[in-house]
Amino acid sequence: MGIRETLDKKKSLSVVAAVVVIVGSIVAIYVQARNTGTSVSGSIYLTQDDGKTFIAGTPKQMIGIGKDGQPVARAHVFMCGGKQVVGYMTRYTDESVKLLMEVQANRDVAKSPDVAAKLSQVPMRGMEVKKPGQPGWVPQSDVARASRIKPFVCPDGTRPAEVLP
- Asked whether 84 and 163 are in contact (CB, 8 A), the reply is yes
- 67 and 53, same structural domain? yes
pLDDT digits (tens, 9 = 90+) for 16-67: 666 555 645 555 554 444 433 333 457 999 999 999 999 999 888 888 666 6
- At residue 124 the predicted structure's pLDDT band, cuts being 50, 70 and 90, is confident
User: 129 pLDDT exceeds 70?
Assistant: yes
In this prediction, residues 4-11 reach a mean pLDDT of 74
The pLDDT assigned to 130 comes to: 95
The pLDDT assigned to 60 comes to: 85
- 70 and 7, same structural domain? no
Closest listed residue to residue 98, CA positions, set 124, 63, 57, 125: 63
The pLDDT assigned to 108 comes to: 84
- 78 and 145, same structural domain? yes
- 158 and 83, same structural domain? yes
Q: What contacts 88, CB < 8 A, 6 or more positions away?
A: 76, 129, 130, 131, 132, 149, 150, 152
pTM of the model: 0.68
138: part of which helix (H) or strand (E)? strand 138-139
pLDDT digits (tens, 9 = 90+) for 63-122: 866 666 778 899 999 999 999 999 999 999 988 888 888 888 888 888 888 888 888 888
Specify the 3-state DSSP secondary structure of 109: helix
Domain region containing 72: 40-163
Based on the structure, what is the number of domains in the chain?
2
- 118 and 77, same structural domain? yes
The pLDDT assigned to 142 comes to: 94
